[in-house]
Amino acid sequence: MKILDRLLVLSPFTFVSGGLIRRRQTEQRIFKERIIGGFRAPIGRFPYAVSLQSPDGALFCGGSLIAPDVVLSAAHCAGGSYDVVIGRYDLGSGEGDVVPMQREVTHPEYNPSNTDNDFNLIFLDRPTTAAVAIVKLNKESFVPSAQDPVTVMGWGDTAQSDFVQELSDILRSVQVTVVSNDECAASRGWVGWFNYQSYEGSITQNMLCARGSNADSCQGDSGGPLVVEGSDPSGADDLQVGVVSWGIGCANSEFPGVYSRISAAYEWIRSEVCSRSSDPPSYFQCYSVEGDSPVPVPLPSATAPLSAFTATTPPPSPRDGWADILEENFDGNFGQFNAGGVDVMYYPSVMKRNGVVRIQNNGEGSTLYSNKLTLDRSFSRFRVTFSFYSNSMEIFSDSFCLDVMADEAGWTEEKCWLSFFDFRNDQWYDETVEFTVGRADSLRIRFRCAATSEYDDVLFDTVKLEGYA
């Protein structure tokens, strides 16, 4: 039930460099990208609110500064290269500090199918030079309670209609009221004339709901903060309780906005920030306990490059047994792959990714297949890791498949991924699949679109093939 998270989709077609990606607007669940019913935020009141901007300077999501070199945002905003703009109240101005994103760490239990644990930590290329307050994160699961007032903020379209855009360069905020998860899960009603929707089964304990009178966050505001306001006009004692995530409609009287609940991910956020940030906030108490004495956790030098300490797992070594056979990121066209059939397209940049290839159904379906790969040793098994994005694939009927050819002996279907059960439209996925082929001197892999319409597309960003000796 999701519409594309990082593009405003106002027509059935989205134009991109190199061609046309087609999409249908049949789903009503959307990621939040604008403030409805709010007002211009007081200058300097929410300095920790930041904007995420693509290389062309376009806002696509929000976030909050939680350490001088760390921003908290939504997992559904992750992917691609972008800048974080800190301390810029008016996006039309040149104020503030623009810092490149260095690394993203999404919540390990983020589920793109139901948007559970929609958290993304963005580690910056350097600490910000902007003199702004960071926001403190909520640790207590019972804060806030139902009926408590909370405030959400962001930049973007201020019109409630999905067919009108009224963009604002100025940071806007609006106060909404917390709704219990039970009441939120019971939400149901009509969206438009013929579309009856329900939150039943969609609200988890990792989510928090809030609604206002003709007030809401909606489509640009994704990843932004939901806070309990403190008394300090600089925002220094505000408490962030949620991250803008998703909802049905915008300011719909039947459906509250849904936010990721900070307290549910607090210990994960604290652990990641303590181990990766050059200047974690003091309230995180980044130390361990040995005996009866607190022992500081070793932290990297503030002058050390972030790349020196951001790896969560070391790269595979020969002792792991896995050896690289093929790795293609499509930065310079098809690379080690070939196009099969018509309607195979290469995009230098699309959907916030650089170097993307597309296959689609065209009657027989188009394919993307690798060169013949000579195997210099005997492998007992193989694994393929790849990033993909589907567009307009119809649930229960459309799929795409991975085929394998050993020693040029013909294609064998290895695995297929079915729409709805294995993936949803309009979001990037990272997938890994293992397989065996027996003794072989050469190998090819192929991705094949097995859909039902010429509008059904599958995009690929990176593909890696490894063998286990």
pLDDT greater than 60 at residue 28: no
Sorted by where each begins, the domain ranges of the chain are 32-275, 318-468
Does residue 316 contact residue 309 with C-beta atoms inside 8 Å? no
Residue 164 pLDDT class (50, 70, 90 cuts): very low
Q: Grade residue 290 by pLDDT with cuts at 50, 70 and 90.
A: very low
pLDDT confidence tier of residue 14, bands split at 50, 70 and 90? very low
Query: Residue 213: which pLDDT band, with cuts at 50, 70 and 90?
Result: low
Given a cut of 60, whether residue 343 has pLDDT beyond it is yes
Q: Which residue has the tokens 């085929």?
A: 403
Active-site entry in 118, 221, 398, 426: 118
Architecture of domain 32-275: Beta Barrel (2.40)
pLDDT at residue 387 in the model:
95
Q: Which is higher by pLDDT, 292 or 45?
A: 45
What is the assigned CATH class of domain 318-468? mainly beta
To the query of whether residue 118 is one of the catalytic residues in this protein, the response is: yes
**pLDDT given for residue 250 in this prediction:** 59
- The distance of Cα 163 from the centroid of its chain, to the nearest Å, equals 24
Question: CB under 8 Å to 154, separation ≥6 — which residues?
Answer: 33, 34, 35, 49, 62, 171, 172, 217, 220, 221, 224, 244
Backbone angles phi, psi at 25, to 5 degrees: -105, 75
Given 168, 202, 217, 222, the catalytic residue: 222
Per-residue pLDDT tens digits for 428-456: 999 999 999 888 899 999 999 887 777 78
Residue 1 pLDDT > 60:
no
The highest-confidence range among 1-10, 341-350, 405-414, by mean pLDDT, is 405-414
Question: Residue 192: what pLDDT?
Answer: 64
Return the half-sphere exposure (C-beta side, CA atoms, 13 A cut-off) of residue 246. Answer: 27
Question: Do residues 433 and 414 touch, judged by C-beta distance below 8 A?
Answer: yes
pLDDT band, residue 292 (cuts 50/70/90): very low
* For residue 469, pLDDT beyond 90: no
Local confidence band at 96 (pLDDT 50, 70, 90 cut-offs): very high
pTM, rounded to two decimals:
0.58
- What does the pLDDT read at residue 364? 62
pLDDT in tens, 314-337: 333 334 579 999 999 998 788 999
The answer to whether residue 208 scores a pLDDT higher than 80 is yes
What's at 260, amino acid-wise?
S
Flag whether pLDDT at 378 surpasses 90.
no
Average confidence (pLDDT) over 67-74:
97
Active site residue 222: yes
Q: Please report the pLDDT score of residue 321 as a whole number.
A: 75
142: pLDDT confidence band, cut at 50, 70 and 90? confident
What confidence category does residue 420 fall into, taking pLDDT thresholds of 50, 70 and 90?
A: confident
Higher pLDDT, 438 or 11: 438
pLDDT at 227 over 60: yes
344 or 304: whose pLDDT is higher? 344
For range 357-366, the mean pLDDT: 76
Q: Please give the mean pLDDT across all residues of the chain.
A: 80
- Percentage, residues of the chain above pLDDT 90: 48
pLDDT by residue (tens digit) across 167-199? 568 898 888 999 999 999 998 887 766 677 788
76 classed as catalytic: yes
Q: Which of 69, 73, 76, 202 is catalytic?
A: 76
Between 295 and 39, name the one with better pLDDT: 39
Specify which residues 391 forms β-bridges with.
457
